Structure 1
Amino acid sequence: MDWGRAKNVLIYAFLLLNLVLGYQLWNDLEEQADSNLDYTSLEGSTQMIMDDKGIKVLAKIPNETPELPKISYRFVDGRQGGKITELPEPVDSKLIWTPKELQNALKSSLPDIANYSYDEVAGSEGMFVLHPLVEGQWPLFNIDLVLYYSNQKIISYMREDIEISSVSDEKEQRVLSASKALGNLIENYLPEGSVVKEIQLGYYGQVFDSDAHLPVTPAWRFMLESGKEYYVQGISGDVISPNTEKSKE
């Protein structure tokens, strides 16, 4: 046996192994950094309460605090809730969509699909959920476009057409930061063991069966792993939990 050559092979094998392990360690650390909450955005007292209550946050805390107006909307044809329309041609579906893929798949059947935002966490078995966009960017959470699928085909949809208007006498106001809204939830509202899996800024307001314009305001939505959701109004800081239909101020 050529021991010199065998020694070189072993050295190269160990170097390669170290490179692979080093890359894996770097990749794991990067993923951990991406998935961990930036606790520096929360007050120390909030972090302590979070630890005491066993609350976890798996979502990144957004840092934007844009100036947004209050708006209103009305149902174009009155509230029709529950009217399902069959698609002319079933569309191939899959379990996970990117917004662009969803738009491309449905633009022939729903030409205005680009005006809606795909809500990955709000869907359930047999249905995808989207929301109309305010100013092309912020989802109006309490209005849904529901896509129904079966046997890997999107076969029908349900939506209520609305008309969005700005409130002319209201000035744009800077929204409350997501970290402050989350801190309030952690300290006062979230039950022990809660896991926050999604944080998103949009618009939210009560839905009434009315032909009048209904006011909505900017709001942070916090989705829990349990399926419960909380909305923190972006201007007043009031907290709403639609699951219990209770507003907490």
Structure 2
Amino acid sequence: MDWSRAKNVLIYAFLLLNLVLGYQLWNDLREQADESPDLTSLAGNVQRAMDNKNIKVAAAIPTETPELPKISYRFVDANGEKPMMLDKTVYSKLIFSPEELVSGLADSIPDIGNYRYDPVEDGEGKFVMHPLVEGKYPLFRVNLVLYYSEQRIVSYTEQRIEISSIGEEEGQRVLSASKALGNLVENYLPNDSVVKSIELGYYGELFNSDAQVAAPAWRFALESGEVFYVQGISGDVISAGSDKTKE
């Protein structure tokens, strides 16, 4: 055996292994940095309130402040709460792969591509999705619910709607997530809260009428299960538990 050559091969192998391990460590650190919330967008008094109340933010704070209009919509299916059985059940793990989920259920639910999965509202035996406004912003409180049993999606309910803008109303600049969060921290969130999700969407109270109205709103979900909505234009705060605007 040529020991000199074997020694060189081992050296190169160790160098390659170190490079691979080094890259993996760098990639892990980068992902951790990307996932860590940047609290510098919060005002100093808000950060002090977080410390005093032991409030933690485990979600990234969005920086977008788009101009969005209010919308109106109406329900078009009176049987939207009646479960519909699927002709062909779908392996429930597909819920975590949007493309495969749409492909797997497209024959049974043709418009499923205009919905987004919402892990915040998941419950025992069901996955919840919301329709998207402009293909991007979820319309909270309007649901497509997928029911599963033994790891397979077997049925669903869909609140089918038609969305339209309200008259000639133009979009308005949405309140920033950091300002909305600051208001919650200082005035509404209980001690020891952990904010696990922050998302911009549409929210509106449901009325017993044909026309429904929804406005842009930030949704803040806590690890405790409590959810707060902050209206994107007025800044009013609504607790999902009470479904009433907080003064």
TM-score, normalised on structure 1? 0.88
| Cα displacement (A) at 1:106 | 0.6
Separation of aligned partners in 2, 1:8 and 1:235: 67
Offset at residue 73 of structure 1 (A): 1.2
Q: State the one-letter code of the partner of 1:244.
A: S
Cα shift at 1:47: 0.8
- Which residue of structure 2 aligns with residue 200 of structure 1? 199
Describe the superposition over 1:20-77 as per-residue Cα deviations: whole angstroms up to 9, x where unpaired: 7755653453233122211111111111111121111111111111111110111224
Cα displacement string for residues 131-184 of structure 1 (whole angstroms, at most 9, x for unaligned residues):
111111111011011000001111100122212111014211010111111111
Unpaired segments of 5 or more residues in structure 1? none
Deviates more, 1:63-72 or 1:91-100: 91-100
Corresponding residue of 2:156: 157
Q: Distance in 2 between matches of 1:22 and 1:153?
A: 40
Alignment partner, residue 190 of structure 1: 189
The residue that corresponds to 1:230 in the other structure is: 228
Corresponding residue for residue 69 of structure 1 = 69
Counterparts of 1:1-249 in structure 2, within 5 Å, are 22-23=22-23, 25-78=25-78, 80=79, 82-94=81-93, 97-208=96-207, 210-249=208-247
Give the distance between the partners of 1:160 and 1:13, measured in 2 at CA.
59
Q: CA deviation at 1:189?
A: 0.8
Deviates more, 1:22-31 or 1:153-162: 22-31
Higher mean C-alpha displacement, 57-66 vs 15-24: 15-24
Q: Name the SS for the 1:121 alignment partner.
A: helix
**Counterpart secondary structure, 2:121:** coil
d(CA) in 1 for partners of 2:139, 2:158: 13
Per the TM alignment, residue 224 of structure 1 is displaced from its structure 2 partner at its CA by: 0.9
* Percent identical: 65
After TM superposition, the structure 1 stretch with the greater mean CA deviation from structure 2, 216-225 or 89-98, is 89-98
CA distance in structure 1 between the partners assigned to 2:77 and 2:15 by the alignment: 69
Letter in 1 for 2:60: K
Report the AA paired with residue 233 of structure 2.
I
User: What is the deviation of 1:14?
Assistant: 8.7
Amino acid at match of 1:26: W
Distance 1:202 1:10 in 2: 56
Q: Give the Cα separation in 1 of the matches to 2:148 and 2:26.
A: 40
Q: 1:102: how far off?
A: 1.6
- Paired with 1:87 and 1:10, the residues of 2 have a C-alpha distance of 57
- Equivalenced residue count is 246
Deviation at 1:213, TM superposition (A): 0.8
How far apart, in 2, do the equivalents of 1:51 and 1:14 lie? 46
In structure 1, what is the Cα distance between the partners aligned to 2:74 and 2:9?
A: 74
Tell me if structure 2 keeps the 8 A contact 1:75–1:211.
Answer: no
Counterpart secondary structure, 1:243: coil
User: In the aligned structure 2, how far is the partner of 1:36 from the partner of 1:76?
Assistant: 42
CA RMSD of aligned residues (A): 2.5
Distance, in Å, in 2 between the alignment partners of 1:214 and 1:66 is 22
Q: 1:17 to 1:107 in 2, by over 3 A?
A: closer
In the alignment, the residues of structure 1 paired with residue 10 and residue 114 of structure 2 have an alpha-carbon distance, to the nearest angstrom, of: 59
Shift of 1:19: 5.5
State how far apart, in whole Å, the 1-side matches of 2:242 and 2:75 are: 25
Question: 1:207 deviation in Å?
Answer: 1.1
